[in-house]
Amino acid sequence: MAGEKLYEGKAKIIYTTDDPAVLLTYFKDDATAFNAQKRGQIADKGKINCAISTYLFQRLESAGIATHWLETVSDREMRVKALSIIPLEVVVRNVAAGSLCRQTGLPLGQVLLPPLVEFYYKNDDMGDPLLTPDRMRVMNVATDEQIATLRRQAEQINHILTKFFASCAITLVDFKLEFGLDHQQTIVLGDEISPDTCRLWDQATEDETQRVMDKDRFRQDLGQVEQAYQRVLERVMAQSPQH
């Protein structure tokens, strides 16, 4: 089924299929942080992220969000709609953490109401810089109308995912989305939604280290990385209608 390798990224490999409108994404165990300056592996991460993404894409679809997910065909592979990816990382923040704290001095854990929606240029060589609407306009990276749609969709997705993770006793601190255009030029949610791309805090503890269930365990060498990813999967699956 898998055709030729189209692109190998930091976390996934993209293959062509016999249908030009469909791609196959293979989820790897490779982990990177700080713009790939730190590299490693997280055992079974590919399987866990494939399963979590599958579940969340299905949930978003049933809430009316257009996603690229078509079918999960193995424990590491999903068939997705081929998109022309918009080179933006759309970040939604409900709670201050990470680069927001470093760049603004806001304290870790400060609740952000309304949530922040931010756009970063998806460009590793430039270090994924934060963009402004004016910069996006002069860069021609997206039209004003597309940017408004991305913002609205990101807010809707945040609403759905925040409620869902709360039902798992997890706080959705922040997350990164990638969108693309399909053949009809419709904006569709792509890439993945996983502990690699979300900050997730366990509501069972307020301990600043213990609560971390996402890639910050790898970034900050907090240990128990695999176990944290596994625990997110278990909580997500416990909400699944199949269970």
From 4-12, 129-137, 206-214, 224-232, span contacting Mg ion (CB under 5 A): 4-12
> With CB cut-offs between 5 and 8 Å by kind, which of Mg ion, ligand ADP, none does residue 187 bind?
none
Residue 74 CB, nearest distance to Mg ion (Å)? 20
Residue 87 CB, nearest distance to ligand ADP (Å)? 8
Residue 24 CB, nearest distance to ligand ADP (Å)? 10
Write out the residues near ligand ADP by the rule CB under 6 A. 7, 9-12, 14, 23, 68, 80-83, 85, 178, 180, 190-191
Gap between the Cα atoms of 37 and 160, Å rounded: 33
DSSP state of 185: -
Query: Residue 34 or 105: which CB sits closer to ligand ADP?
Result: 34
Residue 51 CB, nearest distance to ligand ADP (Å)? 16
Q: Longest Cα pair distance anywhere in the chain, in angstroms?
A: 50
What is the residue type of 38?
K
Q: Which residues pair with 179 in a beta bridge?
A: 189
93, 174 contact by CB (below 8 A): yes
123, 87 contact by CB (below 8 A): yes
* Residue ranges in 6-25 that form contacts with Mg ion under rule CB under 5 A: 11
Angle (CA) 228-31-79 rounded to 5° is 90
Query: Residue 37 or 242: which CB sits closer to ligand ADP?
Result: 37
Gap between the Cα atoms of 36 and 22, Å rounded: 28
What is the residue type of 87?
P
> With CB cut-offs between 5 and 8 Å by kind, which of ligand ADP, Mg ion, none does residue 233 bind?
none
* List of residues contacting Mg ion (CB under 5 A): 11
